Each structure stands twice: as C-alpha cells, then as structure tokens.
Amino acid sequence: MNQARISNIVSKLNYKIQPKARRLKNVNGPEGRIFKLQKTLTALLKYERIELNYNRADETRGYIEQLISKVMQNGCNKNMMELADYWILEKQLIHKLFNVLPSRYCGSTIYTNLYHSPREFPGIHYKRAVLELKGNPFPSIVTHSTDGGLLIQNVLLNQAKKEYSSRQYEKTAENITNT
C-alpha cells in the first residue's frame, strides 16, 4: 500500500503566514479585495519590484510565496494552470511563472524580499514597503557598507590619533621618571 508523503502535500514555505485574516477594507467588498490582490500579484510578476503600503505588500507576499511554491512542487498541470489563470491578470506572465521562476529558485525556499520604505513627511503616515522577487535584475536595495579604512580622511585621522597617543604616553613616562 502506497502512503502519500506529507512533504508532497504540504507546502514547504519558510515564510510565516498570518493565521488570522487581515481587515483590509475595500469599497467593492471581498471581490474588490481579491481583484486588488490580483493586480498586485500581476504587477510583482511583471516588474519584479514594487512599492506599496506595508499591509498590502505583506499580504501579497504570502500569496506570491504560496503560488511559486505550488508551481515548484506540482509543475505545469491543469489545476496549476487554472490557479495561475485566476491570480494573474496578464496572461503572458503565466509563462514566466512556470518556466522562468522555477529555474531561478531551484534550491531556494523563500522567493521574495520585503523591505520597509521611509515615510514621506509631511503627509499621510502609512507604512510603506518595497516588495521584490529575489534574483531580480535591479540593484540591491540594501547597500553593503564598504570598509572606509583606506579613505584618505580616515588614514589621516588614524595617524593623528597615533601621534596624539604617543605624545600622551611620552608625557606620562616623563612624569613617572621625574617623581
């Protein structure tokens, strides 16, 4: 008797999905909320990096992570095509979901990055965020600080510190020998 492996049934997401539903209001009700999520998912697949309100970005991240994870698990079958057809509004992006992204993310379990964006001041203070697919062609948002030890101003300051400390050492040595 063949037993189903639980790892084939359950998604292998390392992303923690909120257990309770968000209370994101939309004037068109639940259908409007789903349509907004469809537009956001489509934009993320198309542009690979988008800036939006934090709550919308966090919710969209959960959906795109699950969608990519299911594509990685199940491949291209009828149910997955229907699911992709439902969530993605621009149908030419379905090819990207099934052919480009699985090859990019083989061996990876997290497919997106979510960064807090600075707030605009003055103005409405909604939390903003940048949601991006990993491995996109854009420059990284997180800047890696280079070692500034070899910059001319740092070299001069370090040399001045050494000279100052050596003078202080000589003064204390003279005071000790004189007493």
Distance separating the N- and C-terminal Cα atoms of the chain: 94
* pLDDT at residue 150, as a whole number: 76
- Looking at residue 1, its pLDDT comes to 45
Q: How many CA atoms lie within 13 A of 93 on its CB side?
A: 18
**Contact 62/18 with Cβ under 8 angstroms?**
yes
Position 15 scores a pLDDT of: 59
Using CA atoms, how far apart are residues 86 and 81, in angstroms rounded to an integer?
A: 9
In angstroms and rounded to an integer, the radius of gyration of the C-alpha atoms of the chain is 27
Chain center to CA of 81: 26
Q: Is the overall model pTM greater than 0.75, yes or no?
A: no
What residues in the chain have per-residue pLDDT under 50? 1
Question: Please, where are the H alpha helices in the chain?
Answer: 6-9, 29-47, 54-74, 78-87, 93-95, 101-104, 152-178
Q: Which pLDDT does position 14 carry in this prediction?
A: 64
Express each pLDDT in 121-167 by its tens digit. Answer: 776 677 889 999 999 989 888 877 666 777 888 888 889 999 999 88
